[in-house]
Amino acid sequence: MFEHLNTLPQDPILGLMKSFREDSRTDKVDLGVGVYRDEAGHTPIMAAVQSAQQRLLETEATKAYIGPAGAEGFNHLISQLILGAGHPALNDQRVNTVQTPGGCGALRMAAEFLRLCKPDATVWVSTPTWANHIPLLGGAGLTIREYPYLDTATLSVDFDAMMAALELADAGDVVLLHGCCHNPSGADLSPDQWTAVTDLIERKGLLPFIDIAYQGLGEGLDQDAHGVRLMAERLPEVIVASSCSKNFGLYRERTGALMLIAANAQQGRAATSQLLSAIRSHYSMPPAHGAAVVELILDTPALTQAWHHELDAMCRRIIELRSAFSEALAPAGDFSFIERQRGMFSFLGINPQQVKILRDEFGIYMLDSSRINIAGLSANTLSRVAHALQEVLGRTE
């Protein structure tokens, strides 16, 4: 049976990781892999997470299954984190949340749920979008259409083109939006633009599907959730996929959540029963450890405060790196868009040949699209990367 299978090409990011590991240069710089790094280049375990894990180690009494919906306490607390305590949708019992194996699990289970609701559903995704969005959603059998999002000349949101494309969507179509820290561009919608998109979705009868994987790493926990909270208050139905990989540093624990916001409590219960049936037939139930860590942190005031402090420091560091990198690149051209963008990612706007020169000659690794992980920079490497980029741009003009 296996003899008919061909070897698939390696995933670009995984291939880049392999090349970086095999590079013997001591001054190499990894700007490709999408994980937060500190000044030393490490992806550390947050202190609040360490404390929570130690408490769990001392108090956890069972490894029994937690059920398809995951941990009830986690689901309740993550809903409050995203929507804010006292949000009208929570007060009206319109919100049902299930724990998932990471943000990827949330996205795929949302796709399976949408296929149950409407087998011929069309999902509109931004151009560009996170590389795994289309495989996760399209792999469930959904039809994918794209709307323009990034102006490649200015590397800012091409909002007029986005709105014009979404005017072509039909009632019942789904619009995938990045809640904050757009991956891969770093170009986010402004509060006024969120309002305009909400107006369009409401007028045309579309369903917003929001992927919020970086809450707290853009401008702050509350600011980064503005779009989600606005739509959850104004629209009858919203789907939200979230991840704890970045803001809790729980990458390998695969901790995420999927939130269904319905028109009323009864419809929400019916929808969630369908979602849980889909979950049962796919992975049965999610892993427990990461969610237990998050639940303990969010349910313990001292740990919550410590986590807020750490997350705020990470957020400030990224913002400061953006400002410093933009300034350092000024001799090479106008890179001010980097300072205006938010989150871990930005495009440099250079071509694949220039990316290859940076990798081969300078040991600076990034995706061929020129997407870089801002958090991969440090005070020690920022100037060298900026000078290398200036040299490459100068020789290829």
Catalytic residues: 130, 211, 213, 246
User: CA 43, CA 314: separation in Å to the nearest integer?
Assistant: 11
User: CA 249, CA 75: separation in Å to the nearest integer?
Assistant: 18
User: CA 185, CA 244: separation in Å to the nearest integer?
Assistant: 20
User: Which helix (H) or strand (E) is 48 found in, with range?
Assistant: helix 47-59
User: Measuring CA to CA, which residue among 121, 136, 192, 196 is closest to residue 166?
Assistant: 196
User: Measuring CA to CA, which residue among 61, 123, 108, 373 is closest to residue 256?
Assistant: 108
User: CA 385, CA 378: separation in Å to the nearest integer?
Assistant: 10
**Number of Cβ within a 10 Å radius of residue 335:** 21
Q: Within its chain, how far is the Cα of 207 from the centroid?
A: 19
User: Which helix (H) or strand (E) is 211 found in, with range?
Assistant: strand 207-212
User: CA 230, CA 393: separation in Å to the nearest integer?
Assistant: 42
At what angle are helices 265-282 and 102-117 packed, to 10 degrees?
Answer: 110
User: CA 202, CA 207: separation in Å to the nearest integer?
Assistant: 9
Q: How many CA atoms lie within 13 A of 277 on its CB side?
A: 11
How do 371-373 and 364-365 pair as beta strands? unpaired
